[in-house]
Structures are given as structure tokens and as C-alpha cells.
Amino acid sequence: MRLDLKQHPTPGAPSGFSLVESMLAIAIASVIMGALLPRFTTIVRTFRRDGVTDQIAADVRKVRAQSISTGWQYRIIGFSSGSTNANKGQYRMMGRSSSAIAWPADNAAQLKTATQMAGPWVDIRTMFPGVSLNPANTATHFSVAFDSRGVRFELDATFDPLVIQSQTGSSKSLRITPVGNVEIQ
């Protein structure tokens, strides 16, 4: 004898959920989402801060590697979020063939010549909303430069350390050692 466990709908019986059951499910989902949303926002802000930290650290390493591979001097120059400069919250890479050549002007358009290079601006405010670079510092700019051996030879006090802060107030900092290594703290 075979046992059939399937229930067969009664003809004319309503199928699906009742209005009360649907409202109860929506109420439970709303309470859960209300409890999780603030935590999710904090996580997103932390990820943005960490993203900026990793982005700048990678670009500093790239500038150092370019210095070694090309024999040029390279630097990263940027403007703190508290600056009054039009490029606040942004940074860029610059290069020169030797110390006898001047760095390109801070506000120079993107260029590449036989003796100078000015890369595009990296806008942290657009890429990572809510993240600030040196938020408490109103200095005009921050920079770090490497010679053709990859050794740091120029470092602004505002880049020692470079503070990266999220809207929640949590921060990380970048330090560049004299031999050119990047330390994230």
C-alpha cells in the first residue's frame, strides 16, 4: 500500500497568503532592516576609507617604481580636504627628468614632455564620497617625492602622516619611510 503525502487543494478553497500574513511578514522584514541599516552604512563608510587608503598607497608605490625604472624623479602632490584650493581632496602624480628641471606647476594641465610629466587629478571626493584627506589640516598641499633610486628625498610635514578619515570619524594614516616604503597605520 502506498501513502500519498501530497495535499490536494480543495476545489473553491483560496490559495496563497492572507492579508494578515502578508502584513506580518512585511512588519518583521521592516524591523530587521531597521536594525541592520545603520550597521550597513558604517560598513560602507569604512570600506570607502580603506579603499582610499589602498588607492593612495598603491599610487605612492607606483610613483616609486616609476622613479626606479625610468631614472626620473617622481612625486605625488595633493590638497587636503580642509584646503581652500580648488583641487582640495585630490592628488596627482608628477615627474621630472632631473633635479635641474623644475617640477610642473601644481595647477598645470595634464602633460608629458621630454623633461616633465603631470598626470591627471585623482578626485577622492568623487570616487569615495564622505572620505577626507588630512581633514584637520588647512595647509596648501601635501607631497612626497622619490629620486631615481626610489629613495624618498622630499616629504611635506602634512604627508607625515597623511590622515584618511571617513564620515564616521574613523581614520587610517599613511607614512612613507626614508627608503620609500609605505606604511598603513
**pLDDT for res 141:** 84
Report, as ranges of residue numbers, the positions in the chain whose pLDDT lies below 70: 1-14
**What integer pLDDT is reported at residue 40 of this predicted model?**
82
pLDDT of residue 68: 96
Q: 159: which residues sit within 8 A by CB, 6+ positions away? A: 142, 143, 144, 174, 176
Mean residue pLDDT across the chain: 88
Q: What is the pLDDT of residue 90?
A: 93
Q: Which cell is 112 given?
A: 608629458
Whether the CB-CB separation of 60 and 140 falls below 8 Å is answered with no
Nearest to 134 by CA among 144, 146, 149, 119: 144
Do 166 and 49 form a contact (C-beta atoms < 8 A)? yes
Residue 24 in grid coordinates: 506580518
The pLDDT value given to residue 83: 84
- Read off the amino acid at residue 185: Q
Return the pLDDT at 167. Answer: 83
Instruction: Kindly list the domain boundaries of the chain, sorted by start residue.
Output: 19-184
**Does the structural domain 19-184 have CATH classification 3.55.40?**
yes
What local confidence, expressed as pLDDT, does residue 85 receive? 85
If one counts every other C-beta atom within 10 angstroms of the C-beta of residue 85, the result is 14
89-128 pLDDT per residue, tens: 999 999 999 999 999 998 899 999 999 999 999 999 999 9
